[in-house]
């Protein structure tokens, strides 16, 4: 096994903290992964990893090598692709994860043109709202709404999406049309929403003169994904707060109605997040540039 392949294996073991996980991600036998690390330690003349029955961690020398090895692998990728055409430079498999509504309504319908433009690219698409470990799960980037919680990732904000308050015509016929947030507490129901990975229902939020406020409102239903959230609103089960682009077609058809337009929530940031070691990947850059253009019409001006 050559030194470059040993570096690739070492980086995966170091980032995942596990020989088993690295072997699974690289689709190699565990014995091959262990042998590569042993050979690398023998050739460098130093121990790179602390091994216990439960955990693998870097030594001081291992930490230094990890920083250098990451850069070497990026430089090799650049050299390999240096004299290829633009489309040929974007090749290999890219793993991304996006919210389900983004995947179904926005990304997938536009994918044929994107993949036609990059014929040597293969896309692995996950559709979740939950927090994921990008390194552990082998994901190159995620699209997420709101304030990112993981400070170890590179965060590239794309802009802000408008949020609105809405309900179905049937709900409004039964409960009346709220004129202001004060009307909600005694006369109305909201549909509760718990984002993936959380156990706490999000409050009802609104802005007055740029100042954000929140209310805890009663409701008979709590859901944990956007599809159910919007479907429950269409069924007349209560009020929701949702990105405008998510329900624009329902508003145009009359299935939903915006209410309290003067008391919208603060716009929500949409960002691309990815591990620092993939910062210069051409396929990742191509995807981010394309998705940024795709998302642009739905962002706040």
- Tell whether the model's pLDDT for residue 145 goes beyond 80: yes
Mean pLDDT score of the chain: 86
Angle formed by the axes of helices 3-16 and 19-26, nearest 10° = 120
The whole-angstrom separation of Cα 240 and Cα 188 is 11
Instruction: Give 3 or 87, the one with higher predicted confidence.
Output: 3
Report, at the CATH architecture level, how domain 86-153+273-298 is classified: 3-Layer(aba) Sandwich (3.40)
More confident of the two residues 224 and 191: 191
Hey, what CATH class is 163-266 in? alpha beta
Residues 236, 3: Cα–Cα separation, whole Å: 62
Rounded CA-CA distance 45/40 in Å is 8
Over residues 83-112, the pLDDT tens digits come to 554 545 677 788 899 988 899 889 999 999
Its sign, for the CA torsion 284, 285, 286, 290, is positive
CA distance 109 to 203: 32
Residue 80 has pLDDT above 90, yes or no: no
- Do the domains at 86-153+273-298 and 163-266 have one common CATH topology? yes
pLDDT at position 177, please? Answer: 96
- Cα separation, 267 vs 243, in Å, equals 8
- pLDDT, one tens digit per residue, over 48-79 is 999 887 788 899 998 889 888 877 877 776 66
> Alpha-carbon torsion 83, 89, 91, 95, what sign?
positive
Encode pLDDT of 254-287 as tens digits.
999 999 999 999 999 999 988 875 445 788 889 9
Q: pTM (2 decimals)? A: 0.67
Give pLDDT, residue 278. Answer: 46
Distance (Å) of CA 194 to CA 101, 157, 205 = 16, 23, 14
| 3-class state of residue 229 by DSSP | helix
Q: What is the pLDDT at residue 233?
A: 97
Q: CB under 8 Å to 34, separation ≥6 — which residues? A: 19
Q: 266-291 burial, b for 16+ CB within 10 Å, e for fewer?
A: ebbbbbbbbbebbeebbbbebbbebb
Residue of 155 and 252 predicted with greater confidence = 252
Third-level CATH fold of 3-81 = Arc Repressor Mutant, subunit A (1.10.10)
pLDDT of 196-213, one tens digit each?
A: 656 678 889 999 988 999
pLDDT of residue 67: 81
pLDDT of residue 89: 66
* Token couple for 177: 């049309």
Domain ranges of the chain: 3-81, 86-153+273-298, 163-266
């Amino acid at each position: 096994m050559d030194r470059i392949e040993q570096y690739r294996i070492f980086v995966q073991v170091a980032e995942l903290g596990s020989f088993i996980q690295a072997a699974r991600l690289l689709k190699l036998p565990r014995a091959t992964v262990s042998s590569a690390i042993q050979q690398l330690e023998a050739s460098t003349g130093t121990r790179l990893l602390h091994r216990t029955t439960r955990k693998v961690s870097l030594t001081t020398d291992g930490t230094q090598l990890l920083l250098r090895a990451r850069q070497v692998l990026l430089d090799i990728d650049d050299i390999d692709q240096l004299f290829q055409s633009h489309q040929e430079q974007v090749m290999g498999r890219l793993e991304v994860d996006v919210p389900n509504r983004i995947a179904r309504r926005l990304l997938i319908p536009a994918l044929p043109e994107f993949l036609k433009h990059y014929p040597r690219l293969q896309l692995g698409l996950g559709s979740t709202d939950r927090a994921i470990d990008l390194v552990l799960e082998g994901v190159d980037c995620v699209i997420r709404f709101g304030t990112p919680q993981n400070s170890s990732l590179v965060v590239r904000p794309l802009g802000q999406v408008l949020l609105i308050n809405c309900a179905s015509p049937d709900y409004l016929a039964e409960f009346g049309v709220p004129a202001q947030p004060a009307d909600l507490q005694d006369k109305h129901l909201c549909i509760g929403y718990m984002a993936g990975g959380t156990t706490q229902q999000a409050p009802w939020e609104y802005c007055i003169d740029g100042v954000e406020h929140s209310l805890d409102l009663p409701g008979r239903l709590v859901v944990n994904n956007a599809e159910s959230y919007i479907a429950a609103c269409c069924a007349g089960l209560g009020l929701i707060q949702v990105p405008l682009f998510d329900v624009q077609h329902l508003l145009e058809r009359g299935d939903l109605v915006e209410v309290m337009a003067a008391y919208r929530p603060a716009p929500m940031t949409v960002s691309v997040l990815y591990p620092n070691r993939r910062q210069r990947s051409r396929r990742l850059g191509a995807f981010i540039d394309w998705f940024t253009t795709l998302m642009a019409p739905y962002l706040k001006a």
